[in-house]
């Protein structure tokens, strides 16, 4: 864990709306730098921001070895004589929608950007307006402003919309309408299941909020002056009970797709095809029991700063006896096409989009730890084929 040296002063510290990342801007009279850290204080990525004294000809290794804010060499900064210190009153932080990147603004203009692909361990710093070319401490923001500038504007627009009155309710009603058209009338609805702890102190199963009637009407927004800080994302769970043509209940998250998942752009060229998901489980188990799987998974991508994709498997965090879908299982497999396993034809939940991106439903199938390890070693296709040969159903409880 990197600690702020006594000589440095924190000009600004801001936590992402998801609570998983913190931006610290530090200044020690010689230079200013920005550090993207985990909630535990571990530095994930960093960027030099500005020099405030005459720049050294070469990198000052003594400062680096002492853990001080780096000063960029004279050939790598637009102001080799230094620029005035930053005024915290002119600074603003803009978090990317995904929560894995952030921009530091000065008087409304980008000063420094640490995108999701910046990584201290891989030697990839952030981008600084004052930087020239590339160095271990910062890349020139001018070279990437055509890509990063629109990202900042999109992020500002997203958070402005997200915090606006009725924004969440409008999204919620739209998604519930889609589920109604594909799965029929709703049963219970659980509000804000992401507010539940992912793990209780005694290791017992995470609770699920009391169910409420389905298709909730938009609720009046609380006046901004009295609205407490909220941890995003907001996620509910909608139950669609069994009916004449379906012998199982379907539980689906409502809200994961309201924001893009982190890190997708590290693995996919077409981010919009993979960035928004909802999770679903088809089950003959009691819905209140099966629904306990969602407080664990609903905020997982944003809390762990990762993404879910078809074929991913996730290990249950505690003893198998506490697993909501039954003590036989110790993890889950996520499927975009559950028809690859045994069971009735799966409902088609496609054709819903948000923010110009299609939303993909991933179906939860419980697996053993041995099966999870097999999938990690041999790949998801091999695991799915193995489960199919065993006659495993995608409907939980059958």
Q: pLDDT tens, 175-228?
A: 999 999 999 999 999 998 865 433 323 333 344 544 444 444 333 332 223 333
List all residues 6 or more positions away from 145 whose beta carbon is below 8 Å from its beta carbon: 110
Q: pLDDT tens, 229-284?
A: 457 899 999 999 999 889 999 999 999 999 999 999 999 999 999 999 999 999 99
| Beta-bridge partner residues of 189 | 212, 238
Q: Residue 362: its pLDDT value, please?
A: 98
Outline where 241-351 has alpha helix (H): 287-290, 294-297, 300-304
**Global pTM value:** 0.89
Q: pLDDT tens, 71-120?
A: 999 999 999 999 999 999 999 999 999 999 999 999 999 999 999 999 99
CA distances from 249 to 137, 288, 367 (A): 53, 11, 20
Cβ count within 10 A of residue 206: 19
What is the distance between the alpha carbons of residues 195 and 231, in angstroms, rounded to a whole number?
A: 8
User: Could you tell me whether strands 189-190 and 236-240 are parallel, antiparallel, or unpaired per DSSP bridges?
Assistant: antiparallel
The pair of three-digit structure tokens given for residue 125, joined into one six-digit string: 């710093």
- End-to-end distance of the chain based on CA atoms, in angstroms? 47
What is the distance between the alpha carbons of residues 93 and 112, in angstroms, rounded to a whole number?
A: 10
The pair of three-digit structure tokens given for residue 89, joined into one six-digit string: 């009153």
The pair of three-digit structure tokens given for residue 92, joined into one six-digit string: 């603003």
SS3 130: coil
| Beta-bridge partner residues of 131 | 77
Mean pLDDT across the chain: 90
């Amino acid at each position: 864990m990197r600690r702020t040296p006594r000589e440095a002063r924190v000009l600004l510290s801001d936590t992402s709306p998801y609570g998983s990342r913190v931006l610290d801007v530090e200044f020690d009279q010689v230079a200013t730098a920005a550090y993207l850290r985990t909630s535990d204080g571990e530095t994930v990525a960093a960027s030099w921001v500005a020099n405030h004294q005459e720049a050294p000809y070469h990198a000052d290794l003594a400062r680096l070895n002492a853990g001080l804010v780096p000063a960029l060499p004279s050939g790598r900064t637009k102001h080799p004589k230094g620029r005035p210190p930053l005024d915290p009153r002119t600074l603003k932080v803009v978090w990317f929608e995904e929560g894995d990147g952030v921009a530091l603004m000065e008087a409304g203009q980008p000063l420094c950007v640490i995108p999701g692909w910046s990584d201290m361990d891989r030697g990839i710093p952030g981008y600084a307006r004052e930087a020239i070319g590339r160095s271990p401490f910062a890349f020139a923001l001018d070279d990437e402003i055509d890509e990063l500038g629109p990202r900042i504007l999109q992020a500002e627009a997203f958070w402005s919309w997200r915090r606006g009155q009725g924004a969440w309710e409008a999204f919620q009603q739209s998604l519930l309408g889609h589920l109604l058209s594909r799965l029929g009338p709703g049963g219970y609805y659980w509000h804000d299941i992401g507010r539940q702890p992912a793990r209780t102190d005694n290791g017992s199963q995470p609770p699920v909020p009391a169910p409420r009637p389905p298709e909730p009407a938009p609720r009046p927004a609380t006046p901004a002056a009295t609205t407490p800080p909220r941890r995003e994302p907001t996620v509910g769970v909608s139950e669609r009970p069994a009916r004449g043509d379906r012998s199982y209940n379907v539980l689906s998250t409502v809200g994961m797709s309201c924001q893009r998942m982190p890190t997708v752009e590290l693995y996919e060229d077409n981010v919009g095809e993979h960035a928004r998901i909802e999770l679903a489980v088809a089950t003959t188990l009691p819905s209140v029991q099966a629904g306990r799987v969602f407080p664990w998974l609903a905020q997982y991508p944003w809390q762990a700063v990762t993404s879910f994709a078809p074929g991913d498997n996730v290990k249950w965090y505690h003893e198998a006896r506490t697993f909501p879908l039954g003590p036989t299982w110790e993890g889950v497999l996520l499927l975009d096409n559950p028809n690859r396993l045994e069971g009735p034809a799966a409902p088609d939940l496609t054709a819903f989009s948000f923010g110009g991106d299609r939303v993909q439903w991933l179906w939860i199938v419980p697996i053993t730890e041995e099966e999870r390890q097999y999938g990690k070693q041999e790949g998801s296709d091999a695991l799915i084929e193995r489960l199919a040969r065993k006659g495993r159903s995608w409907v939980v409880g059958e």
